[in-house]
A and B are shown apart, each in its own frame.
Chain A
Amino acid sequence: MKLMDVDLWEEIFDSLSRNKARSFLTAFGIFWGVFMLLLLMGGGKGVQSMLGQNLGGFASNAGFMIANTTSKPHKGLARDRAWTIDLDDVAAVSNCVPEVEVCTPSIRRWGATATADNRAIGVQVSGERADYIAVEDPKIRIGRGLNAIDDAQARKVCVVGSRIVTELFPDLGPDGDPCGRFIKVDGVAYCIVGVSGKGENGLTIGGSATTIVHLPYSTMQHTYNRGKEVDILCLTAKSQVPMSAVQTKVESLLKRRHLIHPDDTQAVIKVNTEAVFSMIDSLFVGVSILVWMIGLGTLIAGAIGVSNIMIVTVKERTTEIGIRRAIGATPRNILVMIMAESLVLTLVAGMSGITFAAGLLHAVERGAGEEGFQISFSLAVGAALLLSLLGLIAGLAPALRAMNIKPVEAMRED
């Protein structure tokens, strides 16, 4: 018996369409399983990539050190002493901790107001050197980023977040180019040279990335009279070196330089993206384990349903199979027939599940305007292969049962 014989297909179709409601309900189990599995996988992947975009811009091995009041007396100094990181610390860290790739200072001002043409918006001001880009990429959308010359000459230039542009210059439209225009922050005018492309939900230090005014470090230092003070000491580690290890070294260096008790756990605040990234990673590992459990569970339940129904069908068809055996069907013929039926049922249902899931994910992508939800082609192929396997396994029990039907059954009177 040839597998591609039209008759085999005709028989499969015949026997499946003889009991349409039952075939449909059986198929629905498989359909739903595949649909859920792929939809959840696609959804999880999409959310992950959206989160990834929000984290985007930050180096995955970035670390930040912030000064805080001390909690222990040390060398004659009382507790609760305020101290600040300064530019000498930046130089010292660069020189003394070899695992540090980039060490750059950042100063901040919260609650400032930017104005232009009688419009105003609350902003955060951040002063940063050109090498800050190694820590956080502003993802310049229009214009250019801040460079070393801006810093050296203390130019009054700025890179602004996208909301600042839309709020202060509504005449430009959403994608207009504000470069060359001036905004006033705390009474000082700065020329816009670039617009950051970071989104509303982006991970930032202090406030939304869309309302940050980035100034050259020296400009901000002079304008706000900050002297050598540094609000945030920003670090990136050399590759393969964990940021937490680097931060421990930097912390003890800072403590030595500022006469802080070595066991003081409060005086230096350490934040690193490593922890954030690994937390999100493990979150998604958990999510995907859940997705696989739910999806595969549903799918296996569907396959068991197919197997069950096929066993019932085989029982109902005992006489028919007996007749076939009596007029010359070999056990193998019967086996192939039942297996093929199960396979076709599973594949048709599963393929529609794949198609529906892909369609829905496509709609989600269009609706949300975000990429990354759609399942990959190889995943779809993998799902189809898994379905074939499930179909064969599901068909095995009923097919073996059918195979063992004796031709004598044809003689039995019903």
Chain B
Amino acid sequence: MTCVKEVIKDADMIRLTNIHKTYQGAQPLHVLKGIDLEIKEGEFVAIMGASGSGKSTLLNVLGILDDYDEGEYTLAGTLIKNLSETRAADYRNRMIGFIFQSFNLIPFKNAVENVALPLFYQGVGRRKRNALALEYLEKVGLKDWAHHYPGELSGGQRQRVAIARALITHPKIILADEPTGALDSKTTVEVLDLLKDLHRQGMTIVVVTHELDVGMQADRIIHIIDGQVVLGTTEGQECEQQA
């Protein structure tokens, strides 16, 4: 906890202040009950919590996939609040790289096309974005699989394609939702190594997981219980180094 307080506020990549979120319905569900959270640039953070704790909702808010009711969310100095759908799409495209549990590749597009898709929505020309996509596939070691369809790839390979897709827009943060949830232990290690590599290169990474093994790889673990950040749960290598 001490190390977080030392961080200069302006260097925060993510700053959440008193975030509230209620799902409206016949029985309104108050999911996020005043989340306060700061994540520095270059940090590797794991968000952990039981199912129903609100960690998925928090991830949706962080990823600008969903709106929140109260509080303030600042991402890389930009206030993310009450955005239009188009604006939100643009911010997602340029600032956030998503990695999903079920990979979420588009099945009828091959690896290169999947990786290049975010650039398509930026209006980047076909040739340029395919060249870039190939470059990123090479970085995740899948150059030879560039023209295979997701159905022809193993789980680990698919997740690496998804990681290449997340990286291609040079996002500010990588948001990973149970990135190893659908992988066996061997490929889990591969994917985690890849994430740690990215971390070493200075990328800010937020992983949502309920697997402690995965959480332990992070600099810091944030526990969410019943829609609130539980204090005093900070751990990981970075704090030890700084201490």
CB-nearest residue of chain B relative to A319? B104
* A10 to B: closest C-beta gap in Å: 9
Asked whether, in the complex, the Cβ of A410 is within 8 Å of the Cβ of B65, the reply is: yes
On chain B, the residues within 8 Å of A411 by CB distance are 56, 59-60, 65, 100, 177
On chain B, the residues within 8 Å of A14 by CB distance are 108-109
**Complex alpha-carbon distance, A39 and B111, angstroms:** 47
Task: State which of B86, B90, B101, B106 has its C-beta within 8 Å of the C-beta of A323.
Answer: B106
- Given contacts A1-B123, A330-B90, are A408 and B118 in contact (CB under 8 A)? no
* B81 to A: closest C-beta gap in Å: 17
* A140 to B: closest C-beta gap in Å: 69
On chain A, the residues within 8 Å of B104 by CB distance are 319, 323, 326, 410
Say yes or no for A327: interface residue by CB 8 A criterion: yes
Asked whether, in the complex, the Cβ of A327 is within 8 Å of the Cβ of B121, the reply is: yes
Asked whether, in the complex, the Cβ of A326 is within 8 Å of the Cβ of B85, the reply is: no
Task: State which of B89, B100, B126 has its C-beta within 8 Å of the C-beta of A410.
Answer: B100
Say yes or no for A288: interface residue by CB 8 A criterion: no
**Complex alpha-carbon distance, A323 and B98, angstroms:** 10
On chain A, the residues within 8 Å of B121 by CB distance are 1, 324, 327-330, 333
Task: State which of B56, B118, B177 has its C-beta within 8 Å of the C-beta of A328.
Answer: B118
Asked whether, in the complex, the Cβ of B89 is within 8 Å of the Cβ of A406, the reply is: no
Asked whether, in the complex, the Cβ of A328 is within 8 Å of the Cβ of B86, the reply is: no
Say yes or no for A368: interface residue by CB 8 A criterion: no
Interface size on A, residues (CB 8 A): 28
CB-nearest residue of chain A relative to B118? A327
* B225 to A: closest C-beta gap in Å: 21
Asked whether, in the complex, the Cβ of A327 is within 8 Å of the Cβ of B102, the reply is: no
Asked whether, in the complex, the Cβ of A413 is within 8 Å of the Cβ of B89, the reply is: no
Task: State which of A18, A320, A325, A414 has its C-beta within 8 Å of the C-beta of B89.
Answer: A325
On chain A, the residues within 8 Å of B123 by CB distance are 1-2
**Interface residues as binary, B92-131 with A (CB distance below 8 Å gives 1, 0 otherwise):** 1110001011101010110000000110111100100000
CB proximity to B under 8 Å, residues A1-39:
1-2, 5-7, 14-15, 18
**Interface residues as binary, B128-140 with A (CB distance below 8 Å gives 1, 0 otherwise):** 0000000000000
Asked whether, in the complex, the Cβ of B126 is within 8 Å of the Cβ of A6, the reply is: yes
Asked whether, in the complex, the Cβ of A7 is within 8 Å of the Cβ of B108, the reply is: no
On chain A, the residues within 8 Å of B102 by CB distance are 413-414
**Complex alpha-carbon distance, A319 and B106, angstroms:** 9
On chain A, the residues within 8 Å of B69 by CB distance are none
Task: State which of A5, A320, A332 has its C-beta within 8 Å of the C-beta of B86.
Answer: A332
On chain B, the residues within 8 Å of A326 by CB distance are 63, 65, 92, 98, 104
* A319 to B: closest C-beta gap in Å: 7
- Given contacts A323-B106, A408-B66, A413-B101, are A328 and B122 in contact (CB under 8 A)? yes
Say yes or no for B165: interface residue by CB 8 A criterion: yes
Say yes or no for A407: interface residue by CB 8 A criterion: yes
**Complex alpha-carbon distance, A331 and B65, angstroms:** 13
- Give the A-binding residues of B (Cβ under 8 A): 56, 59-60, 63, 65-66, 85-86, 88-90, 92-94, 98, 100-102, 104, 106, 108-109, 117-118, 120-123, 126, 165, 169, 177
17 more contacts with CB within 8 A, not counting A2-B123, A325-B89, are: A1-B123, A5-B126, A7-B126, A324-B121, A326-B63, A326-B65, A326-B92, A327-B98, A327-B121, A328-B90, A328-B93, A330-B86, A331-B86, A406-B66, A408-B65, A411-B56, A413-B101
Jot down 26 A-B pairs with beta carbons below 8 A, ordered by A.
Answer: A1-B121, A1-B123, A7-B120, A15-B108, A320-B106, A323-B104, A324-B121, A326-B65, A326-B98, A327-B121, A328-B90, A328-B118, A332-B86, A406-B65, A406-B66, A407-B65, A408-B60, A408-B66, A410-B65, A410-B98, A410-B104, A411-B56, A411-B59, A411-B65, A411-B100, A414-B102
